[in-house]
Amino acid sequence: MKTKKPATGRAARSRDPHLARERERYEHPLPSREYILQTLRDQGVPLGEVQLARLLGVTPAEFDVFSRRLGAMERDGQILRNRRGAIALMEKLDLVPGRVEGHPDGFGFCIPDAGGPDIFLSPRQMHEVLHGDRVVVRIKGRDSRGRPEGSIVEVLEHSISRVVGRIYHENGVWFLIAENRRINQDILVPPGQQGSAQSGQVVTVELLTYPSAGAEATARVVEVLGNYGDAGMEIEIALRKHDLPHQFPPAAEQQAADLPDVVRKQDLKGREDIRHLPLVTIDGETAKDFDDAVWCEPAGKGWRLLVAIADVSHYVQPNDALDREAVGRGNSVYFPRRVIPMLPEKLSNGLCSLNPQVDRLCMVCDMEVDAQGTIGQYRFYPAVMHSQARLTYTRVWDALSGGPLDDDARRLLPQLQNLEAVFRALLKARAQRGAIDFETTETQILFTPEGRIERVVPVVRNDAHRLIEECMLAANVCAADILQRHEHPVLFRVHDGPSPDRLENLRAFMAEFGFGLGGGDKPTAKDYAKLLTQIRGRPDTGLLQTVMLRSLSQAVYSPDNLGHFGLAYEAYAHFTSPIRRYPDLLVHRAIKAVLKKQRYEPGDWNALGNQCSMTERRADEASRDVLNWLKCSFMAERIGEVFSGTVSAVTGFGIFVSLDEVFIEGLVHISELGTDYFHYEAERHRLLGERTGKQFRLGDRLTVQVVRADIETTRIDFTLVESSDGHSEEPAPRGGRKPTTVKTGAGRSAKPKPAGGKPAGQKGGKRG
């Protein structure tokens, strides 16, 4: 192959198509990544580092910095150094860069950076890496299930430096079993590195060496958390397992401490004074951070609706200590009885929180809403407000439905009635545009004064919840609209429609029940809403709704506006919770910039969207872990009890059953379903017996017995309770019957899917 004769020195540098961009970023620009890759392509062979530097015109003074850029490109999977040290294009080596995802059973997968099918990694391959590492793999064939199987060529980057788990001392050897079951290897703790830890305790270790083909990872203990059964240990573990920032750095603490305790006179400059308006906050009983307040009055044939939101952006400036910590946290995390706030308490519960009877700075969305719930003119402006009352959903709905009135509700009843009226109008608009309204059950855990779990109960939503929800949706839509009209970049809240394969599976499943989903290849939210209306009231509504819900994707933050499918909005952004969500703070800054005819440039919007989406998922996973731990602890005291329940998920290894009244899920392993070969049919959400034809399907009603609740793995196992004729029995009332014998399940190796619901006190998704 004939290679191009390249230019060298200054001439080579001038040919870089991204030279102008590099000059904007750096005082002494290097060859861009794109130019480095193109030069390697043009040469057609791997090149030594010195040779590549000469071709690109890199001077001796720049060589060290150039080497660091090559190292970053190697970590990102763009290039690879071969055994001779030459630099080669990854795309030419038939290698796949990606991220390792471990499985509790020891095997794992490489999730390719460029997309495509996951690559299976055997337990032997996984011995060389840890969950989350970035690697390069070579596909060597297919496994017994037809999946591409790979071998690890190189570890590009280790993702974790600390691990939380339980330390043990056996036969003179100290070792750690990670709490994150995706880290399947034991981690050795060399003699003297265990510190003050005692065998069986929960500790955090810092990795000294990483695993390799012939050696285990080693680590030293840096923190002893205590005993596994200590109160609150489940939260301490979740914080470290999911790498959740939970201590504010000194600079952020100092900045918060330096802020005033009250709104000062100089803070009012350039703000509208709306302290005369009777704005109120309406939240749950346990809420302490009040982001939003509302007020409404009749105006012509419609209403004037004000949604006032805490002006966090006045106190947290771009790239200051509080801002840097907030973007790292991304959001507040809500656990039962504990909150990990995005901002220090002085702001989240104090200076920024719209507490009653004190002046507070706010950003206002001032809207006109007509009788059909259509938003007409609106405007945003900074203001100062004075909340008239801290109301709760229960108190508000009691007042609006003719229940008892306390002093605040009696005084503010006309205002609450105005809010109910505009809410009814907004509901009309919601129905008209066809937003999807799934009926789901959230749960919360109630505790005794001693801290023991008393019971798990459903969260009862009344129309006061929906009233606030609709007001927040209206403000969020206006926020997206003003930024879109002014062509200002922002993080939209994006919810894509169903993928073609999910849509095909949904239609096939619904056809079995005699239902069809309209919309052809591109169904809309209105098509989903119409189908929901058709299935409502049926005995199998829960089953059909669950299948519909699982056909949809997860909402994310992105600068690319793809619309919000579930809410049926063409553009939607989060504006209403800047105390607890970083994207909302970005939206506030962008709107302020628009009002001043300026531009807000926080940096790479795509990177910010990925970061905020990641921290949201991280918070959800940590909250689920804690909730599962608590529910498992609750069920550990109920071994042998019998309950009725509903099949909430079907997998290849068994069925998950959600229990009535206690709202907790557990697994009936496939080996417990009967003496038959059961085959998993994913598209039909069922396990089907080969010989008997017996099926277990999503939504089936069953009677089960609790046989195991392992707190360490948060696994709850059930077995079926059958009568002499082979059918499930009806349980004794309230799950109270204890049989004389307990059947123990066999062959359980699957970790249960996390139970649904949100922790007590969590604001959750009520703000859209």
Binned at pLDDT 50, 70 and 90, residue 9 comes out as low
Q: Which amino acid type is present at position 102?
A: G
- Is the pLDDT reported for residue 166 higher than 80? yes
234 occurs within a structural domain:
no
- Mind listing the pLDDT tens digit for each residue in 439-491? 777 788 888 887 788 888 888 788 999 999 999 999 999 999 999 999 999 99
Q: Are residues 375 and 307 in the same domain?
A: yes
Binned at pLDDT 50, 70 and 90, residue 734 comes out as very low
pLDDT of res. 756:
33
For the record, the structure tokens of 602 come out as 């926080």
Higher pLDDT, 455 or 427: 427
Strands (E), 186-290: 187-189, 202-209, 218-226, 272-273, 281-283
What is the separation of C-alpha 659 from the centre of its chain, rounded to a whole number of angstroms? 25
pLDDT of res. 87:
86
- Is the pLDDT reported for residue 284 higher than 50? yes
Q: Round to whole Å and give the CA distance between 369 and 426.
A: 8
Q: Are residues 402 and 266 in the same domain?
A: yes
Q: Is residue 612 helix, strand or coil? A: helix
Quote the number of domains for the chain. Answer: 6
CA angle 13, 17, 19 (to 5 degrees): 55
Distances (CA, A) of 501 to 112, 319, 506, 649, 755: 20, 43, 9, 19, 26
Binned at pLDDT 50, 70 and 90, residue 760 comes out as very low
Binned at pLDDT 50, 70 and 90, residue 153 comes out as confident
Contact (Cβ atoms closer than 8 angstroms) between residue 303 and residue 418: yes
Mean pLDDT of 641-662: 91
How many residues appear in the chain?
Answer: 768
559 occurs within a structural domain:
no
- Is the pLDDT reported for residue 595 higher than 60? yes
For the record, the structure tokens of 321 come out as 């200590």
Higher pLDDT, 734 or 377: 377
Domain that holds residue 662: 640-735
Contact (Cβ atoms closer than 8 angstroms) between residue 624 and residue 336: no
Q: Are residues 194 and 64 in the same domain?
A: no
Q: 91, 113, 136: which is the final residue of a domain?
A: 91
- Is the pLDDT reported for residue 739 higher than 60? no
Task: Residue 152: give its domain's CATH number.
Answer: 2.40.50.140
Q: Are residues 511 and 540 in the same domain?
A: yes
- Is the pLDDT reported for residue 733 higher than 70? no
417 occurs within a structural domain:
yes
Mean pLDDT of 52-79: 85
646 occurs within a structural domain:
yes
Is the CA virtual torsion 292, 298, 300, 302 positive or negative? positive
- Is the pLDDT reported for residue 744 higher than 70? no
- Mind listing the pLDDT tens digit for each residue in 366-385? 999 999 999 999 999 999 99
pTM of the shown model: 0.81
Q: Round to whole Å and give the CA distance between 303 and 694.
A: 58
Q: Are residues 263 and 373 in the same domain?
A: yes
752 occurs within a structural domain:
no
Which residues make Cβ contacts (< 8 Å) with residue 323, sequence separation at least 6? 316, 317
Q: Round to whole Å and give the CA distance between 110 and 98.
A: 6
- Is the pLDDT reported for residue 737 higher than 60? no
> 352: which DSSP letter?
S
Virtual torsion, Cα 460, 465, 466, 468, nearest 10 deg: -170
Q: Round to whole Å and give the CA distance between 645 and 643.
A: 6
610 occurs within a structural domain:
no
Percentage of residues in the chain having pLDDT higher than 70? 92
564 occurs within a structural domain:
no
Lowest mean pLDDT among 23-32, 194-203, 505-514, 625-634: 23-32
pLDDT of res. 745:
28
Mean pLDDT of 271-287: 95
Q: Which amino acid type is present at position 373?
A: G
Mean pLDDT of 342-361: 96
Q: Are residues 82 and 103 in the same domain?
A: no
Mean pLDDT of 99-127: 91
Task: Residue 199: give its domain's CATH number.
Answer: 2.40.50.700
Q: Are residues 321 and 184 in the same domain?
A: no
Phi and psi angles of residue 555, each rounded to the nearest 5 degrees, phi first: -70, 145
Q: Are residues 290 and 267 in the same domain?
A: yes
Q: Which amino acid type is present at position 718?
A: F
When mean pLDDT is compared over 295-309, 648-662, 699-713, the highest value belongs to 295-309
What integer best gives the mean pLDDT of the chain?
87
Using only C-alpha atoms, the chain has a radius of gyration, in whole angstroms, of 29
569 occurs within a structural domain:
no
Q: How far apart are the first and last CA of the chain?
A: 58
Contact (Cβ atoms closer than 8 angstroms) between residue 135 and residue 110: yes
Q: Are residues 191 and 124 in the same domain?
A: no
Which residues make Cβ contacts (< 8 Å) with residue 420, sequence separation at least 6? 400, 463, 467
- Is the pLDDT reported for residue 717 higher than 90? yes
Q: 74, 91, 108: which is the final residue of a domain?
A: 91
Q: Are residues 457 and 506 in the same domain?
A: no
Which residues make Cβ contacts (< 8 Å) with residue 255, sequence separation at least 6? 320, 321, 322
- The DSSP line for 721-760 is -B-TTSSBPPPPGGG----SS-PPP-S--PPPPPP-S--T
Q: Are residues 331 and 196 in the same domain?
A: no
Q: Are residues 198 and 305 in the same domain?
A: no
- Is the pLDDT reported for residue 334 higher than 50? yes
